[in-house]
């Protein structure tokens, strides 16, 4: 790790302290001791190597390399961004449930980076139970984690008290839960209590595959404990996305160095677009898997670079 990167991470600590309110909260989020954070800031940390910097970078979302991939403002990008902004502005609980590869994570990451200092938090969910899930939320927003065995009730209380602090509540905090379809039922149900404690103060958006909506609706249908209350908190309706039409595909291509219009259309067609019906009755062709689109664009860029290198070396040989 370079000294520039280390300095960037030290600055990230300062930024996160302003965001969470204390260095102790930053240390908890990074799963380090407060003493370690203090020593790093003072330049007196004795251990060699970059391990502690990497730990902090991972916990605080430092980006070492974006892979030279640029995000374009596609239809899905605008829909997701508008939903996130509405949830934050109006302190609403909203669900986005759509197929994998539709751009949910990439858009949420952009929104997070642009609004980190304005009370936006993001958690990449895993197959967590309720207590583990609530611990992750508490750590992410800088809430005090009860010592010893943290109970679900204690964690919810700590989270709600942190959200209700004047310094937090006045900026209308937003929590984004990515891959929420991975959560165990007990974790999903815990959102009922967070809603109850933080209604009209906290915005929360769950992002997941179409299975997220399916499992919640199935839980309601089968009268599973808590699912009707959970569905109610999210308005009983989940946002579905559209996909990337030809115009969107051109934007993605342009943003990533593929500017030939014919090539852009061939890329769109290679992604095997499917027909969807819009709310106004129109039928359009869209690419639903943005990961596939990304792979094809990267492949074409590699081809272009290879051809350029070949021409360069051939021309050089001929001149000789």
Query: Where are any strands of DSSP class E within the chain?
Result: 93-97, 120-124, 174-178, 203-208, 238-239, 274-277, 283-286
- Same domain assignment for residues 80 and 212: yes
- Same domain assignment for residues 235 and 253: no
- Same domain assignment for residues 100 and 215: yes
Asked if residue 287 lies in contact with residue 243, where contact means CB atoms within 8 angstroms, the answer is yes
The answer to whether position 261 is within a domain reads: yes
The answer to whether position 69 is within a domain reads: no
The answer to whether position 141 is within a domain reads: yes
Give the closest residue to 163 by CA, choosing from 202, 200, 114, 135. Answer: 202
CATH number of the domain that residue 23 is part of: 1.10.260
- Same domain assignment for residues 96 and 228: yes
- Same domain assignment for residues 205 and 231: yes
- Same domain assignment for residues 82 and 132: yes
- Same domain assignment for residues 117 and 9: no
- Same domain assignment for residues 196 and 308: no
The answer to whether position 70 is within a domain reads: no
Q: Where a domain ends, among 201, 224, 239?
A: 239
User: How many angstroms separate the CA atoms of 307 and 124, rounded?
Assistant: 39
The answer to whether position 68 is within a domain reads: no
- Same domain assignment for residues 79 and 104: yes
Q: What is the pLDDT of residue 232?
A: 98
- Same domain assignment for residues 179 and 128: yes
Output the six-digit token pair for 228.
Answer: 């009707």
- Same domain assignment for residues 112 and 31: no
The answer to whether position 85 is within a domain reads: yes
Q: What is the pLDDT of residue 48?
A: 65
Q: Where a domain ends, among 206, 222, 239?
A: 239
The answer to whether position 114 is within a domain reads: yes
- Please, how many CA atoms are within 13 Å of residue 261, restricted to the half-sphere of its CB? 1
CATH number of the domain that residue 100 is part of: 3.40.50.300
What's the domain count of the chain? 3
Q: What is the pLDDT of residue 201?
A: 97
- Same domain assignment for residues 25 and 113: no
The answer to whether position 163 is within a domain reads: yes
User: Which range of residues forms the domain containing residue 296?
Assistant: 246-319
Q: Where a domain ends, among 221, 239, 257?
A: 239
Q: Per residue of the chain (320 residues), what is the pLDDT tens digit?
A: 788 888 999 999 999 998 898 999 999 999 999 999 999 998 888 776 678 999 999 899 887 765 688 999 999 999 999 999 999 999 999 999 999 999 999 999 999 999 998 999 999 999 999 999 999 999 999 999 888 888 999 999 999 999 999 999 999 999 999 999 999 999 999 999 999 999 999 999 999 999 999 999 999 999 999 999 999 999 999 999 999 999 999 999 999 999 999 999 999 999 999 999 988 889 999 999 999 999 999 999 998 888 766 665 555 555 55
**Collapsing DSSP states into helix, strand and coil, what is residue 29?**
helix
Asked if residue 114 lies in contact with residue 171, where contact means CB atoms within 8 angstroms, the answer is no
């Amino acid at each position: 790790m370079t000294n520039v990167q280390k300095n960037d991470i030290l600055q990230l600590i300062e930024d996160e302290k302003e965001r969470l309110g204390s260095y102790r909260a930053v240390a908890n989020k990074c799963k380090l001791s407060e003493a370690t954070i203090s020593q790093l800031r003072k330049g007196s940390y004795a251990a060699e190597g970059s391990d502690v910097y990497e730990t902090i970078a991972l916990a605080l979302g430092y980006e070492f390399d974006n892979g030279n991939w640029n995000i374009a403002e596609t239809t899905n990008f605008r829909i997701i961004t508008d939903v996130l902004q509405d949830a934050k502005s109006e302190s609403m609980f909203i669900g986005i449930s759509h197929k994998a590869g539709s751009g949910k994570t990439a858009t949420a990451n952009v929104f997070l980076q642009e609004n980190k200092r304005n009370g936006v938090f993001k958690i990449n969910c895993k197959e967590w139970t309720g207590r583990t899930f609530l611990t992750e939320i508490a750590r992410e927003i800088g809430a005090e984690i009860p010592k010893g065995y943290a109970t679900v009730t204690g964690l919810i209380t700590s989270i709600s008290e942190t959200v209700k602090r004047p310094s937090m509540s006045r900026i209308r905090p937003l929590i984004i839960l990515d891959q929420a379809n991975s959560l165990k039922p007990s974790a999903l149900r815990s959102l009922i209590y967070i809603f109850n404690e933080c209604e009209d103060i906290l915005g929360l958006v769950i992002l997941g595959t179409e299975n997220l909506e399916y499992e919640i609706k199935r839980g309601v249908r089968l009268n599973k404990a808590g699912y009707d209350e959970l569905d109610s908190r999210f308005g009983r309706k989940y946002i579905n996305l559209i996909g990337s039409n030809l115009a969107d595909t051109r934007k993605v291509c342009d943003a990533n160095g593929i500017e030939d219009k014919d090539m852009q259309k061939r890329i769109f067609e290679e992604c095997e677009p499917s027909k969807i019906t819009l709310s106004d009755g129109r039928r359009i062709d869209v690419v639903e898997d943005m990961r596939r689109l990304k792979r094809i664009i990267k492949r074409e860029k590699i081809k272009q670079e290879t051809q350029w290198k070949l021409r360069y070396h051939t021309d050089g040989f001929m001149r000789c």
